[in-house]
Amino acid sequence: MLGAGSAFLLQLLLARQFGPDNFGEFMAALMIVTMLAPLAGFGISQFWLKAFGKEGWLAVRWLYPSFQFIALSTILVIILILTWAMIGPHGSVTRNLLLILSLYVLGHVAVELVSSKLQLEERYLRFALWQLLPQLARLASIVALYLWLTEWMTGQNVALIFATIAILFTAAASRELVQMNLKQFKLKGHALKPSLEHHQIVIPKIKSIMVQAWPFGLAGLFVFIYMQSDIILVKYITGSEAAGHYSVAFSIMAAVYLLPSVVYQKFFLPRIHRWAVHDKKKFFQLYHQGNRVMLALGLIAMLLIWSLSEWGIIFLFGIQYSKSINILNIIALCTPLFFLASSVGMTLVTQENMKTKVKYMGIVAITNIILNIILIPDFGAEGAAAATVVSNILLLSLYYYGVKKYILPKNIGEGGLNHND
């Protein structure tokens, strides 16, 4: 909660200081880097949760090739960002922002990998701190810049702060990851660490890692496309000012989306992988109860956004962002859809169902891009907001269809459900 709050306050400060045009340009550059960052590691951190949930301690066989693949993919992603910075259809400001923010990828990978390690250990206090500190460090640094060196408060200097903090957290993560690679960590939910030398462990090749991890990597990319790529498309199609207005609305929604994201992606995910194999009763209890709770909370959040949107945006961001009000009111329709999809879709991350989930996400991502290209030229940022709503409706529908077709029938036969389910 504090981490998301820090990210929101940071965007609030930048929005008020920069104005819609400069804020939109900075956010579009950051979103490009954020979109490509999941390709570094390409789902390894999520695959670890699945592998250890299924294999227990024997999953340490995946660690060495994982680190090889992470190093290779991270280098390729940074090269890709640098290439786009130099040849993309943008001005020198965006180019310089992309060049600097390319280092942000290192911090993203480091935080994701250590987060998975801490989730496997169920060290949730340390995990929460690890999630909080990068956000808090960025916020504190920007506030200090704003208070004491206001004339230095430019997009390029803010990008330098982001890059510096990314490098520092990459260095901090090295100790945790070295311990993991040496198998010096405490895996929870499984028997005590066995004497692994008595097992005939075959170390997989990098190709095997890619085969196992690609669904999780594509999932991260597709999520970004149908949730956040609107900012990039608005910037390149309509302009930086419209992207700034859209970014304000999205920053509010990102804070709202925090609850289901934390519940399912941070807290329950390692347990979901374990329960899907070893305790189907708990697995389906979480599914049914979670659907009801998430739908109710999503509806309440949507009504609160509608009732507070006009006052909140003008009070927090200023009258210059009044165009963000209509955008926020449209995107608010996504709230119950996103909350419920988080619960329904969590069943599809388990065992071999992830490929099905990625297929659905890919359909939604393509649909979102097509709708944006059609709607943004005529309706601007409001068109992008409408495309996001349609995309969320499609995503929830596909998730529900997939669970009905692939999850529920299979588990009825395995005794995973009772008459009331």
Sign for the pseudo-dihedral over CA of 81, 73, 363, 333: negative
Which of 34-43, 47-56, 83-92, 326-335: highest mean pLDDT?
Answer: 326-335
The top-scoring range by mean pLDDT among 93-97, 174-178, 211-215 is 93-97
Q: What pLDDT, on the 0 to 100 scale, is given for residue 420?
A: 44
Q: Among residues 280, 290, 283, 268, which one has the least CA distance to residue 119?
A: 268
Region 363-386: mean pLDDT is 94
Q: Which residues contact 41 (CB under 8 A, 6 or more apart)?
A: 69, 70, 73, 74, 109, 112, 113, 213, 217
Q: 139-149: per-residue pLDDT in tens?
A: 999 999 888 88
State yes or no: pLDDT of 393 exceeds 50.
yes
**What's the gap between Cα 179 and its chain centre?**
26
Average the pLDDT over 258-281 and give the result. Answer: 65
| Contact of 209 with 65, CB cutoff 8 Å | yes
* Model confidence at 45: pLDDT above 90: no
Which has more pLDDT, 305 or 197? 305
Q: What is the residue extent of each domain of the chain?
A: 2-193+202-413
CB atoms within 10 A of CB 132: 16
How much of the chain exceeds pLDDT 70, in percent?
Answer: 86
303 or 196: which carries more pLDDT confidence?
303
pLDDT at 27 > cutoff 70: yes
Mean pLDDT of 304-318: 91
- The distance from CA 341 to its chain's CA centroid, rounded to whole angstroms, is 15
| Closest to 330 in 3D by CA, of 250, 239, 242, 223 | 250
Secondary structure percentages of the chain, helix, strand, coil, to 5: 85, 0, 15
Tell me the pLDDT band of 220, cut-offs 50, 70 and 90. Answer: confident
pLDDT band at 396 (very low <50, low <70, confident <90, very high): very high
Please give the pLDDT value at position 352: 66
Q: How many CA atoms lie within 13 A of 186 on its CB side?
A: 4
Instruction: Compute how many other C-beta atoms are within 10 angstroms of the C-beta atom of residue 351.
Output: 15
For the CA atoms of 8, 12, 14, 20, the dihedral, rounded to the nearest 10 degrees, stands at: 120
Going by pLDDT thresholds of 50, 70 and 90, the confidence category of residue 198 is very low
Question: Average pLDDT, whole number, for the chain?
Answer: 83
Alpha carbon distance 286, 150 (integer Å):
49
Mean predicted confidence (pLDDT) in 304-333: 92
pLDDT per residue as tens digits for the range 272-303: 656 665 556 776 777 778 788 889 999 999 99
> In the predicted model, is pLDDT for residue 264 greater than 80?
no
Q: What's the rounded mean pLDDT across residues 346-364?
A: 80
| pLDDT given at position 280 | 67
Tokens of 224: 């970004």
Q: Which of 106-115, 117-126, 223-232 has the highest mean pLDDT?
A: 106-115
Whole-angstrom CA distances from 276 to 165, 279, 322, 335, 355 are 37, 6, 47, 27, 16
